[in-house]
Structure 1
């Protein structure tokens, strides 16, 4: 049984359709990517949150996301 990934927004239980790849340059190497998942409703909010901090690196559709090698 496979679980459907859910949105990372606080309290949201909707299916994730986006992957927001990010890193904190103060603690991660440049190639390191952390991920948050987002539903359609929360994609923009989560992207703005990460973008304001300079953390957001990429936003990719969940179906198209490929985990970086060595992750």
Structure 2
């Protein structure tokens, strides 16, 4: 039970940080003739060093906020 709680608390800040880092970099996309958005990269291209750093920074900020709240 405790392990699932830890994983469930660590994954969302990392995922949101990676998503925010990719938004800052710019995600390659194009419009199809039907005006639908099509992503031009692969999943692994989303996990470059900068978004991963943003994910770790986001995790650090959440841990810092929790530590300050406990103090």
- TM above 0.5, one fold? no
Tell me which protein shows more strand as a share of its residues: 1
TM range (shorter): under 0.3
TM-score, normalized by length of structure 1? 0.25
Larger radius of gyration: 2
Higher relative contact order (CA 8 A, sep 6+): 2
TM-score, normalized by length of structure 2? 0.25
